[in-house]
């Protein structure tokens, strides 16, 4: 059993909605330095090219003793034409994995696949566990299964075993939607403890129920009250990051102690990616993000990881 702890650029406020847009976003090499100095063994990719490209990325990772944990990509699986349009982005991700393979440290990177959702779902996050009418119908789930199978086979054909990430504001958000995704596919599950909590579930129970399918973990804390406020105010998905529904580990409602115990007791073997999704609104908040990640790493050391 080997749990390998990684971090992610989004924990520092660096992701697709900020990189190249907000001038306060730290540069990629700065984040690599911070992640390594904080004691993490790896990092998620973030936006392709942000941390470096090709062999250069592999050299940067190796110089800091970091492995590449994976990369996240949303696709509209129920829309065949939409899947076709996204395949070049999938291939770019897999090409990046190939480019750093010679410098691999730790477990292999996971193509971390998610649903692309819709404008309606992004405008109404956190509601599907109470209202199943917001979900896909049977025909859409059949198309979803076909599209997901195509993408999974493309990953496996390139030598990478993918994982599916449930995400707030998509059609795989609530526990019942995750269950349906598992029924119509053979892909492993990336359990995101924070998204699972605000999506209406109990992460520890998910580990017990779906442990055999979980092949990747995104560990984050979450605050139910913040999510309930977002729902009550009718705010869209980005409010989750702006209002910081995901605090530092130990600051929210996720039973992080229980999650860690269950992972250890179950013999989980793979990446554990610490994520604290934020969309900083000030330069001071960007700066404070680094301190949060040092604290998160210390928190896990205190729990034996």
Average model confidence (pLDDT) across the chain:
96
Instruction: Give the per-residue pLDDT at 72.
Output: 97
The CA-atom distances, in angstroms, between 184 and each of 83, 149, 162, 179, 212 are: 17, 9, 15, 9, 16
Q: What is the mean pLDDT of residues 171-192?
A: 98
- What domains can be seen in the chain, in order of their start residue? 3-301 (3.20.20.150)
Q: How many CB atoms lie within 10 A of CB 236?
A: 14
Q: What is the mean pLDDT of residues 59-81?
A: 98
Q: How many CB atoms lie within 10 A of CB 133?
A: 6
Q: Is pTM, for the whole model, over 0.85?
A: yes
Instruction: Give the per-residue pLDDT at 151.
Output: 98
Residue 283 confidence (pLDDT) above 90: no
Residue 1 confidence (pLDDT) above 60: no
Joined together, the tokens standing for residue 51 give: 């941390």
Nearest to 105 by CA among 169, 41, 16: 41
Residue 145 confidence (pLDDT) above 60: yes
Give the tens place of pLDDT for each residue, 26-43.
999 999 999 999 999 999
């Amino acid at each position: 059993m080997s749990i390998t702890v990684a971090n992610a650029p989004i924990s520092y406020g660096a992701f697709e909605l900020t990189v190249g847009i907000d001038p306060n976003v730290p540069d990629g090499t700065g984040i690599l330095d911070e992640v390594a100095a904080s004691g993490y063994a790896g990092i998620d990719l973030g936006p392709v090219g942000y941390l470096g490209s090709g062999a250069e990325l592999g050299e940067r990772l190796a110089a800091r003793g970091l492995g590449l944990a994976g990369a996240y990509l949303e696709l509209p699986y129920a829309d065949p034409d939409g899947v076709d349009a996204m395949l070049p982005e999938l291939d770019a991700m897999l090409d990046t994995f190939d480019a750093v393979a010679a410098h691999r440290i730790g477990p292999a990177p996971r193509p971390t696949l998610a649903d692309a959702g819709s404008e309606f779902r992004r405008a109404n996050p956190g509601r599907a566990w109470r209202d199943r009418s917001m979900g896909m119908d049977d025909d859409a789930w059949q198309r979803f299964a076909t599209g997901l199978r195509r993408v999974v086979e493309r990953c496996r054909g390139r030598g990478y075993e993918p994982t599916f990430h449930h995400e707030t504001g998509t059609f795989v958000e609530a526990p019942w939607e995750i269950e349906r995704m598992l029924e119509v596919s053979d892909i492993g599950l990336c359990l995101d403890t924070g998204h699972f909590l605000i999506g209406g579930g109990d992460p520890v129970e998910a580990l017990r129920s779906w442990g055999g399918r979980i092949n990747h973990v995104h560990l984050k804390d979450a605050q139910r009250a913040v999510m309930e406020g977002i729902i009550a105010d009718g705010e869209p998905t980005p409010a989750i990051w702006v209002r910081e529904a995901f605090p530092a580990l130990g600051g929210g409602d996720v039973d992080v102690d229980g999650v860690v115990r269950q992972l250890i007791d179950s013999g989980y073997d793979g990446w554990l990616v610490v994520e604290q999704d934020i969309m900083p609104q000030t330069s001071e908040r960007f700066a404070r993000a680094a301190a949060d990640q040092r604290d998160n790493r210390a928190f896990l050391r205190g729990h034996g990881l």
